[in-house]
Amino acid sequence: MDEKTTVYLVRHGETDSNVEGLLAGQSQDPLNELGHRQAEFAAARLAQVGLRAIYSSDLPRAMQTAQAIAAVTGLMVQPDVRLREIYFGEWEMRRAADIVKEDPKRLRAFFSDPYHVRTPGGESFGDQHRRAQAALDDIAGAHPGQSVALVAHGGILITLLIGIYNDKTFVMREFANGSVTVLRGAPGAWEVVLLNDTSHLDHLGEQGGYKWNRF
């Protein structure tokens, strides 16, 4: 019997903070109109893959995306706080371009080594990686041989891929809103089957979402 778990990682749909280039972090911003459409198309894509469970960050933008998947699968969404976006502390809901004018030394220190350097009053990507990896391992342990959806944030996808590739430069990668990344395996032995795929969103045009190194 195949005990490998297939995990469909979905980045939440677009929010206004994505469009405005804000460091949304653990803020409560919801999906915008395009974000709801992205969630619906991602849900339609996953409707036929035989999901057995849906897990999600408990933040509104992720939960709204997960609920779209729940609506087409009949599954309940199981929220997990460990899947929240990185907490930016004092920088929450601010633009990096504005922060760099006020505190360039601290911001550049973070962006030069975001895996280890914490934001003021917040987290590093390493902090986020450890909690996200624990959540993924627990989910896989509960669903051997099954397919599950995990709805989260760009930072979560980045840190999980850092663990799989053992490459901290992945912190500069951007994942599109509504994208699907597929993992297959078990704790400590994951392979990436599909990375940042947006084929289900192509007809929606340009996708939103800031880049970490935009400033």
Query: Which residues belong to the active site?
Result: 12, 85
* 10 closest CA partner among 202, 154, 186, 211: 154
Residue 152, classed as helix, strand or coil, is: strand
Sign of the torsion formed by the C-alpha atoms of 75, 76, 81 and 86: positive
How far apart (Å, rounded) are the C-alpha atoms in residues 141 and 125? 24
Q: Are 150 and 6 in contact (CB under 8 A)?
A: no
To the nearest 10°, the Cα dihedral for 117, 123, 127, 129? -100
